[in-house]
Structure 1
Amino acid sequence: MKFPVSRRIHLQLLALWIFITLEEGHSGLCPTGWDSAPNIRSCFILISNASSWDDSEAVCKNHSGHLAALTSVQELQHVQALCKNASTGCWVGGHGVNSQKGFSWQWSDHQSLWNNSVFPGAPSPLNCSNSSCLKTNLTEFCTLVTNGKVPLVGDRCKTTHDFVCMLNKADQCELRHCHREYIVILAVVSGLILFTTLAVVIWLLAYRRSKRRRRSRKMSSPSSAALVPPSWRVYTNDELRTVTKNFSEGNRLLGDPKTGGTYRGTLRDGSLVAVKRLKPSFQSKKEFLSEIGRIARLRHPNLVAVKGCCYERGERYIIYEFVANGPLDRWLHYLPRGGRSLDWGMRMRIATTLAQGIAFLHDKVKPHVVHGDIRANNVLLDENFGAHILGVGLSKFVPWEGMHERTVMAGTYGYLAPELVYRNELTTKSDVYSFGVLLLELICGRKPAQTVESVDWQGIFEWATPLVQSHRYTELVDPVITDIPEVGQIQKVVDLVYTCTQHVPSMRPRMSYVVHQLQQLELKVASEGGRGAAGTSSTMSLEVELAS
């Protein structure tokens, strides 16, 4: 991977700055007033206060150092330069010591070795000119640095002279005087690593973004219609206004307020469609068409087929097939006087086909699809009273806030699972709960929540549970049903209702299990002479309308 020229220059300048900082750190480690020795490992200071050797050593220790220990010619020359104005010389750290091996000269730091190549022989006493003074007890002598011919001489330790203290930089670090250097080094290295990491991340993000743009340009060529399957098309806004007669109120179907309404439309070939208008949003055209294409590929006999879509100037529409007998809730709750009602066999067929559609979304689609809004006016009935699920994928276009607002509406509140209402957790088990509520609604013909005389609102389970507990199953059945089945069949359906609406999501069954149970019940109804959806030829007076 190659970085741009400007970035490489920045990295080179940063490396140069690190080098300069380190060099300055090495040369600037000595405290104020101290001089750095040529080998850059020690610091020296001249104390112009005549003192004995022991007192001088004590002063140096107070400065966290010791009297100078000279181990090289460079250090000797450096100390001589410091003491050039001291007429009698300056104390340094050498002193005489008697040991088991005999007399020797040692430095006061007890670490530095006496370098005989620098100081051959023993330092002669200061101002000694005869042989008698050379026989003096040298353990009472300490070393002086002078600018004379003999650079290192001895003098009695009690004599007072100026002195030179020495501070090792390593000792200074141990005494926490040079942590600044390491902090600077650590900060610079960390900055370099962070800068490099950010540069790599930014480059990778830019590369991925450019790659996505190239891919999107390929997908959008030669037109945006390539994003959708060839079996359906992208309509223009003018076309939709034509087929819906400019979205006239006469063509407006009873719909869900969350999505702006649904309108009946007639295409040029005479076929009917339902045009659903979505609320305006900031969703991009490409994202909208891509999501519609994904939904349109979900083909199943019990899903309402998507015929097309439209996106112009921020307005979004979905065009569905027109389902003959309209929404389920109109058949359950809004029958005109003398109109045809749903018998028990029809209701079991509706429940079974609806369960088959939901099971397809949960088990056959990868990744699985959660509808999230199973309710009576999202179930459309065909001419044979088979169920078709409307609104698959609409959760992509409707924000949660809008969906959550519906929980306060009496007609919708009872469908939503507790974990969805209180914790905003939407899973396949949420659809199972909603199906259970709708199955009970099919049995008894009551809305999930409705007004009653004694209280403002009564949930469907508040009404049904006392009847179930007292085994009065026949009283649960919708009064308009004339072919009331055996109590055992009603009980099995009710048991399935309560299994689907368990409070704990993990206790609810899979929809494939629900399908199997309903198919068994439907077969039993058919074998006992129960009439299905096609078993009657009475005319329908209900105007067919589509829920939005």
Structure 2
Amino acid sequence: MVLLQSKENYKDVSLEDLLISTNNFDQANIIGCGGFGIVYRATLPDGRKLAIKRLSGDSGQMDREFRAEVEALSRAQHPNLVHLQGYCMFKNDKLLVYPYMENKKIDGPSSLDWDSRLRIAQGAARGLAYLHQACEPHILHRDIKSSNILLDKNFKAYLADFGLARLMLPYDTHVTTDLVGTLGYIPPEYGQAAVATYKGDVYSFGVVLLELLTGRRPMDMCKPKGSQDLISWVIQMKKENRESEVFDPFIYDKQNDKELLRALEIACLCLIEHPKLRPSTEQLVSWLDSIDTNT
């Protein structure tokens, strides 16, 4: 039995219900794939839609991913975090039940306008600040990336995928870690020392903010040499005083150039090589909220 924990008073949903609603986890219902699981769309008989993350296998790593996600999301409750509505284990399968997000995720270039992209950045920053500073115990996400920011039908942002998350005990400043995360988002210090910190999440958030501003991916081997790595390319363009050329043409115009340049400055502060010089998530929320697109 899968216990759905929700303010919306969902009734209990059985494992059989989930099998039927995904057509026995048919490939046609796949809406996302990650390093440790596949996400399926499930449509219940009454029309409600859910997203089911299926972790298959009996490896120790798979068990750790499952426990980490359940533990983190059972403790964390915030408007900008995806809500874990239920979970179960059946044979070698481990299932996590989430609400279905109409607009899925902000992965890759988009036709979203600047107002929408800024609201996404603001929402994601609030969710991350909650994890780092308000949730008890605090939580390191360790896999902040654009595909882990889900959007509902109103383009409200929700941080998702807590499989790599780690709980931080009081007075902890870091956790010992293997090199985990996604290429293009991994902070440089992770390769130099086996520790993960809050400032590592901030670095990854800075990469996401660059994606929102440029409409480009962190790594794109189809781009000309010298612009395949997004961070290096942006830094070089800044050195040449060509900042305005990095913005996605879909959102850039003279009316919002000040807001875009301010957001670019914030992104670059997140990407500072030395972790201690990066802003806190509390600062990020304040800075992003101060960008007013209506002025």
- Counterpart residue number, 2:24: 246
Structure 1 residue 392, shift from structure 2 partner: 2.6
1:233/1:307 contact within 8 Å kept: no
Q: Deviations over 1:193-215 (max 9, x none)?
A: xxxxxxxxxxxxxxxxxxxxxxx
Q: 1:490 & 1:419 partners in 2: Cα distance?
A: 28
- Counterpart residue number, 2:173: none
Q: Which amino acid letter does the alignment assign opposite residue 520 of structure 1? A: S
- Counterpart residue number, 2:191: 421
2:104/2:151 contact within 8 Å kept: yes
* Aligned with 2:285 (options 503, 515, 519): 515
1:500-511 to 2 correspondence within 5 Å?
A: 500-511=270-281
1:70-219 to 2 correspondence within 5 Å?
A: none
Q: What 5-or-longer segments of structure 1 have no aligned partner?
A: 1-222, 336-340, 407-411, 528-548
- Counterpart residue number, 2:38: 261
SS in 1 for 2:138: coil
Normalization by structure 1: what TM-score?
A: 0.47
Structure 1 residue 236, shift from structure 2 partner: 4.8
SS in 1 for 2:86: strand
Identity among equivalent pairs (%): 33
2:219/2:230 contact within 8 Å kept: yes
Q: Deviations over 1:436-474 (max 9, x none)?
A: 111111101111011145439821122111221122222
Structure 1 residue 416, shift from structure 2 partner: 0.9
- Counterpart residue number, 1:273: 50
Distance of aligned partners of 1:514 and 1:230 in 2 relative to their CA distance in 1, 3 Å threshold: closer
Q: Which amino acid letter does the alignment assign opposite residue 16 of structure 2? A: D
Distance of aligned partners of 1:436 and 1:297 in 2 relative to their CA distance in 1, 3 Å threshold: same
* Aligned with 1:323 (options 97, 101, 116): 101
- Counterpart residue number, 2:89: 311
* Aligned with 1:435 (options 205, 228, 231): 205
SS in 2 for 1:413: coil
Over the residues paired in the alignment, what is the CA RMSD in angstroms?
2.9
Distance of aligned partners of 1:514 and 1:321 in 2 relative to their CA distance in 1, 3 Å threshold: same
SS in 1 for 2:290: helix
Q: Deviations over 1:126-175 (max 9, x none)?
A: xxxxxxxxxxxxxxxxxxxxxxxxxxxxxxxxxxxxxxxxxxxxxxxxxx
1:344/1:483 contact within 8 Å kept: no
SS in 2 for 1:306: coil
Tell me whether 478-487 or 230-239 shows the greater mean CA deviation.
230-239
Distance of aligned partners of 1:457 and 1:498 in 2 relative to their CA distance in 1, 3 Å threshold: closer
Q: What 5-or-longer segments of structure 2 have no aligned partner?
A: 167-176
* Aligned with 2:239 (options 469, 483, 488): 469
Q: 1:277 & 1:395 partners in 2: Cα distance?
A: 17
**Does 1:355 find its partner at 2:121?**
no
* Aligned with 2:116 (options 317, 322, 346): 346
1:18-33 to 2 correspondence within 5 Å?
A: none
1:236/1:310 contact within 8 Å kept: no
1:473/1:487 contact within 8 Å kept: no
Structure 1 residue 230, shift from structure 2 partner: 7.6
* Aligned with 2:264 (options 476, 482, 494): 494
Distance of aligned partners of 1:514 and 1:224 in 2 relative to their CA distance in 1, 3 Å threshold: closer
Distance of aligned partners of 1:457 and 1:247 in 2 relative to their CA distance in 1, 3 Å threshold: farther
Structure of higher RCO (CA pairs closer than 8 Å, 6+ residues apart): 2
Structure 1 residue 342, shift from structure 2 partner: 1.0
Distance of aligned partners of 1:233 and 1:271 in 2 relative to their CA distance in 1, 3 Å threshold: closer
Q: Deviations over 1:58-89 (max 9, x none)?
A: xxxxxxxxxxxxxxxxxxxxxxxxxxxxxxxx
- Counterpart residue number, 1:367: 137
1:415/1:433 contact within 8 Å kept: yes
Tell me whether 291-300 or 355-364 shows the greater mean CA deviation.
291-300
1:343/1:482 contact within 8 Å kept: no
Structure 1 residue 234, shift from structure 2 partner: 7.5
Q: Which amino acid letter does the alignment assign opposite residue 262 of structure 1? A: V
Q: Deviations over 1:79-101 (max 9, x none)?
A: xxxxxxxxxxxxxxxxxxxxxxx
Q: 1:235 & 1:444 partners in 2: Cα distance?
A: 42
**Does 1:526 find its partner at 2:294?**
yes
Structure 1 residue 423, shift from structure 2 partner: 2.4
Q: 2:230 & 2:68 partners in 1: Cα distance?
A: 39
Structure 1 residue 506, shift from structure 2 partner: 1.2
Larger Rg: 1
